[in-house]
Chain A
Amino acid sequence: MTLRVDEVSLAFGQLQALDGLSLAAEPGRIVGLIGPNGSGKSTLLNVVSGIYAPQSGTVHVGGRRITAFQPDIVATMGVGRTFQVPRLARRLTVFQNMLVGGRGHRGENLWNLFVRIGAVRTDEHSMQERAYAIVRRLGLQDKINELAGQLSGGQQKLLSMGVLLMSDPQILLIDEPAAGVNPVLIEQQIVFLSQLRDEGRTILLIEHNMDMITGLCDDVYVLDGGRVLAYGTPDEVRRDPAVMQSYLGTHERKVAS
């Protein structure tokens, strides 16, 4: 599924977090989203995933308009996300978190619990198999009965990726998977993300780690002050003088234009 964001704006009081921002991401490609702190990257994910409604502009997935839909509806349409600070049920175990990631479990229906006991058991069985296959891929199979809140920061990021995969999303919005993660786990995530791309999923990746961006991304959008400052291949944007300036901090947002 294609993700398209058109002319999206959102202000928090005086602060224009998103300022007429447009971008697109295609299946089978990884689109990078970079930019200085506070440039609006995470806010964009919040708008796409329905946590914030934009003040103007539209969001489309697979040609359907989803602007300002509720987060649960957006998720059921195949758009999944992770958070910059991993969101997990901390007092639940790794495996409990994983199992809630998958949707359509008949055991979440009160009636089925008391009437269709066999169906509930069948679903639980297949959900557990699926979850176990994913935690194995992530190297978390020895931690399934540990509390999610007790994992290291890097492992929590891996786990949120696993939870996300349980829902089999067509569009993945991933916010800084490498921040605070050790190099081995970063390497693992790179392999993992490229596999997901090869499965034909659409990936929007926010990351400050430039090795990850150049290693993975087909295209990169550079954000600054809530708008697109530059767009191109990782090499192209790296050589862009405006981008270098913005990263060096000499770019003065308020004076511009």
Chain B
Amino acid sequence: MIDFAIYMTTIVCIWAVLAISLNIQFGLTGLVNFGQILPFAIGAYSAGIASFHGLPIWVGVLAGLIMGPLIGFLVIFPTRRMAQDYWALASLGIAEMFRLTMLNFRGIAGGVEGTIVERLSDPRVAMAVSVLALVVSFIVAERISKAPLGRLLRVIREDETLAATLGRNPFRFQVVAMAVAWAMASAVGVLYAHITGFVDHGSFMVIETFIIWTAVIVGGPGRNLGVVVGAIIIQAMSVSTRFVAQWTDLPSDVVANLRLALVGLLLVVMIMYRPEGFLREKKPNYDVKS
């Protein structure tokens, strides 16, 4: 039971960081990134590739932290000239291209078989590092969200042209938001690889992006605490269906589809009846006396 609690905490923390990362992009800045799993995959594969080629662990860790935001730049620069909807599709496509490349080129990181990575053998250590990652990400995200930078990012989210006529270059600030968000996601990607001790393409399907989006929409876009709650809800749902599978002897693929249907249902219900999410974005109350 305690082992299970440790495992759950670890998983929830990692997904909560992915949700916070997406929240910085979408909830705060209005960037519709349908490839949110990409920075996570980049982090994990940095660890995977380092291990596959016999490089020391720190090389993978460092590469993961750098490559996340760096590939983010490569994605955002050519594609941001496109209208917002096309950018969303481009980001989805690029994430899939990355995954398919890893799947099809054995020489990079083992192809379809994937690759072994040095594993954090003590689950409590894994949990502690995950909790730390969540705490740091949360503090950084909250600082930005409540600061003048967050205020400006919200104006860019609401109306890019307005921000431009107020003398700000919207693109410059979108890049800043993306870099912070992708650094977080790739950092937990590295962590994830070292917790599971294994990296293969199957962990980075489009569906994972959908799961992160659901956590953000359900929890409350624009509110960091909200999206953490969203991540907890989604993971709790996911785990409980696994128990249902054990008790009912349903085949695992049926249960997997059931789980997805449930997540989809939750998403639809929330969008219809509570589009601001469980925890709505806070509006600051200024008290100025002069």
Binding site for B on A (CB under 8 A): 49-51, 70-72, 75-76, 80-81, 87-93, 95-97, 99-101, 103, 105, 107-110, 113-114, 120, 123-124, 127-129, 131-133, 144-145, 147, 163, 167
Contact = CB atoms under 8 A, between A and B. Distances in A.
A132 B149 contact: no
Contact of B148 (A71, A76, A91, A124): A124
B169 interface: yes
Size category of the binding interface on chain B: 20 to 34
A72 B169 contact: yes
B286 interface: yes
A103 B167 CA distance: 7
A51 B284 contact: no
Contacts of A105: 148
Given A96-B154, A110-B149, A71 B285 contact: no
B164 interface: yes
Contacts of B167: 72, 75-76, 103, 167
Given A92-B154, A92-B158, A132-B290, A108 B284 contact: no
B166 A75 contact: yes
A96 B151 contact: yes
Contacts of A147: 283
Contacts of A167: 166-167
A109 to B, nearest CB: 7
B245 interface: no
User: Which are the 3 A-B pairs with shortest beta-carbon distances?
Assistant: A107-B148, A75-B167, A89-B158
Contacts, number: 111
B147 A89 contact: no
Interface in B159-187: 159, 161-170, 173, 176, 180
Contacts of A113: 143-144, 147, 149
B159 A75 contact: no
B100 interface: no
Interface of B: 140, 143-144, 147-149, 151-152, 154-155, 158-159, 161-170, 173, 176, 180, 281, 283-286, 288, 290
10 contacts: A75-B167, A76-B167, A87-B159, A92-B154, A92-B283, A108-B148, A109-B149, A110-B149, A133-B290, A144-B288
Contact of B161 (A51, A100, A120): A51
B284 A75 contact: no
A129 B140 CA distance: 27
Given A113-B143, A129-B290, A99 B148 contact: yes
Contact of A145 (B140, B144, B151, B285): B285
A105 B159 CA distance: 20
A120 B285 contact: no
A191 B137 CA distance: 49
A127 B147 CA distance: 13
A51 B148 CA distance: 25
Contacts of B180: 110
Given A129-B290, A145-B283, A87 B149 contact: no
A87 B164 CA distance: 12
Contacts of A80: 165
Nearest to A128: B288
B166 A99 contact: no
Given A92-B155, A100-B155, 20 more contacts: A70-B169, A71-B164, A71-B165, A72-B163, A72-B165, A72-B167, A88-B159, A89-B155, A89-B162, A91-B281, A92-B158, A96-B154, A96-B155, A110-B149, A110-B180, A113-B147, A123-B148, A124-B148, A131-B288, A133-B290
B162 A87 contact: yes
B151 to A, nearest CB: 6
A145 B149 contact: no
Contacts of B161: 51, 71, 87
Contacts of A51: 161, 165
* Residue with the greatest number of chain B CB neighbours at <10 A, chosen from A50, A99, A167: A99
